[in-house]
Amino acid sequence: MIASSLTVKICGLRTEAAIDVAIAAGADAVGFVIAEGSPRFVDAETARRLIEHTAGRATTVLVTKGLSPEAAASAAYGCGVDVLQVHGFDRPQVERTLELFPRVWRATSVSAANFVGGLDSWGEELLLIDSPRAGSGERWDLGALHEQRPSGPWLLAGGLDPDNVAQAVAQAGPTGVDVSSGVESAPGVKDHALIERFVANARSTSRGSADRAETEPNSGKLSSNDDHHIPVARS
């Protein structure tokens, strides 16, 4: 296990080559989407094969939406993934999932200036704060974080790309970042050069928010999570 200063997750990977590029670039986590209708959808057997290919070089994350806790946990065990990412779950569903599978990342989004389900931990390993339309490449107003802050580690997602990730990290001060559309040449098609640029640009600013927190104690709530780290499996 290692901890890096800023956790970087590349999501929606569908090929071994893209996984290798992401890991070589320094990604901590790679995500595989089994949500029906997504342009990044992979079936259970493909997810299992890609996770096996990753082979402990990065944390593997299974992205689910619209499944019951039982079905999501069953899929996670079936493909041998490290982490189960759940979208649209209420608190009882998250707690039920945690009874079934040990590592859960809960996705939430801003709705009418409030975060769905709130930003306090329900026992999940981390919170993913995304746009309301996950995987769409849409951004959301980071200003909402001025009033509400996650109590634990959290990933920023939603419309990030190589050109905006540095500024977003500096503004929001997340534990990590998560990207899908922003490193694609077409929906579901990962661009290897964009993956490399995204990781490099995210890493180039990973100290930015921490430095700001040290030098600008009144810079507000937006830099308070730099001491949180996600456990990352690396062999």
Ligand X SMILES: O=C(O)c1ccccc1N[C@@H]1O[C@H](COP(=O)(O)O)[C@@H](O)[C@H]1O
Tell me which residues touch ligand X (CB under 6 A): 11-12, 31, 33, 35, 38, 40, 63, 65, 87, 130-131, 134-137, 157-160, 178-182
- Would you state the torsion angle of the CA atoms of residues 42, 46, 52, 57, taken in this order, to the nearest 10 degrees? -30
Closest CB 9 distance from ligand X, rounded Å: 7
- Residue 58 amino acid letter: A
Closest CB 195 distance from ligand X, rounded Å: 12
- Residue 156 amino acid letter: L
Which one, 63 or 222, has the nearer CB to ligand X? 63
Closest CB 157 distance from ligand X, rounded Å: 4
Which one, 30 or 119, has the nearer CB to ligand X? 30
Closest CB 63 distance from ligand X, rounded Å: 5
- Residue 182 amino acid letter: G
Type and span of the H or E element at 202: helix 192-204
Task: Return the percent helix, strand and coil in the chain, to nearest 5.
Answer: 35, 20, 45
Which one, 46 or 219, has the nearer CB to ligand X? 46
Closest CB 219 distance from ligand X, rounded Å: 26
The answer to whether 191 touches 185, Cβ cutoff 8 Å, is yes
Q: What 3-state class would DSSP assign to 122?
A: coil
CA 174, CA 178: separation in Å to the nearest integer? 10
- CA angle in degrees (0–180, nearest 5) for 180-185-190: 50
Give the number of residues written for the chain: 235
Closest CB 193 distance from ligand X, rounded Å: 17
DSSP secondary structure of 61-111: EEEEES--HHHHHHHHHHHT-SEEEEES--HHHHHHHHHH-S-EEEEEEEE
Which one, 93 or 181, has the nearer CB to ligand X? 181
Which one, 31 or 173, has the nearer CB to ligand X? 31
Which one, 74 or 164, has the nearer CB to ligand X? 164
Which one, 134 or 213, has the nearer CB to ligand X? 134
Closest CB 177 distance from ligand X, rounded Å: 9
